[in-house]
Amino acid sequence: MDSFELNKIIGAILGTLLFVMGVGFIAEAIYSPIEARGPGYTLPEPEGEQAAAPAEPEAPAVPLGVLLASASVEQGQNAVRKCQSCHNFGEGEANKQGPLLYGVVGRPIASHEGFSYSEAMVAHGAAGETWTYEDLNTFLTAPNAFAKDTKMKFAGVKSPEERANILAYLATLSASPVPFPPADAAPATEAPAAEAAPAAEAPAAAPADAVAAPTTTPSEPPVEGTPTTNGTGGTETPATTEAPATTEAPATTPAQ
């Protein structure tokens, strides 16, 4: 290959690069973004708390006895499959990362032999506490809240119905199952605050009959009349007309 051919190749490469650069400049000039053309439309900001719907009142908690009365052992057995990597459930089986759970209902806390419990669990056991249904329900809800720094690294079961199913299954893992707590009635709803309208007031007692004082007609002055003669002395005295009797006004009728 002579120098002439080499120059043509280099020239072609340089020409191609120049062409690509030129196309880029032209495209940037055509499609450059438009700036500083006045204010645009301002989107409204969310109102935040004002736009939020009012929170609904929480439903009253269902007593544990009511949940256990309607719990399903079969569903509880399916729910504990997530626990089988750390626990055994059969009688006489060995411990795993957690203690054996056969006969756990009614058993003193931190008492299963061969397992090293956390200090918080040991403290519960030293206080004489046992695994009641209530304590097991609390522990399954949030293990770390029941016993801080427990070895059970589990977030907990948030559904009350699922916890009741698990407890119903754990209750069967015993030769003498512990009976469920009584199914207390759900708390009744509050009665209305007050009656719609207050009772009408009793009519006021009628006032005692008031009798107006009798009015008297003023007496008229004596009228001189025909003189009469006194039989004894013969002296004439003018006869006087007696004033009419006073008229008594009728009694006033009491107002109703």
Measured between alpha carbons, how far apart are the two ends of the chain, in Å?
Answer: 139
What does the pLDDT read at residue 103? 94
Q: 3-state DSSP: the chain helix, strand, coil percent, rounded to 5?
A: 30, 5, 65
pTM: 0.51
In the chain, what percentage of residues exceed pLDDT 90? 43
* Amino acid of residue 253: T
What does the pLDDT read at residue 53? 56
Element (H, E) at 22: helix 3-30
Q: How far apart are CA 227 and CA 229, in angstroms?
A: 7
- The answer to whether residue 218 scores a pLDDT higher than 80 is no
- The answer to whether residue 168 scores a pLDDT higher than 70 is yes
- The answer to whether residue 186 scores a pLDDT higher than 50 is no
Q: Are 183 and 223 in contact (CB under 8 A)?
A: no
Question: Among 21-25, 212-216, 224-228, which range has the highest average pLDDT?
Answer: 21-25
pLDDT in tens, 150-167: 888 888 899 999 999 999
Helix (H, G, I), strand (E, B) or coil at 221: coil
What does the pLDDT read at residue 243? 45
* For range 115-142, the mean pLDDT: 94
Q: How far apart are CA 249 and CA 41, in angstroms?
A: 93
Q: Which residue has the higher pLDDT, 208 or 168?
A: 168
What does the pLDDT read at residue 8? 86
User: What are the residue ranges spanned by the domains of the chain?
Assistant: 64-171
Helix (H, G, I), strand (E, B) or coil at 23: helix
* Mean pLDDT, the chain, integer: 75
If we measure between CA atoms, which residue out of 130, 132, 135, 160 comes closest to residue 145? 135
Task: State phi, psi for 136 to the nearest 5 degrees.
Answer: -65, -40
Q: Are 214 and 187 in contact (CB under 8 A)?
A: no
Helix (H, G, I), strand (E, B) or coil at 236: strand
Superfamily of domain 64-171: Cytochrome c-like domain (1.10.760.10)
What does the pLDDT read at residue 250? 47
- The answer to whether residue 102 scores a pLDDT higher than 80 is yes
Q: Are 217 and 247 in contact (CB under 8 A)?
A: yes
Q: How far apart are CA 72 and CA 70, in angstroms?
A: 7
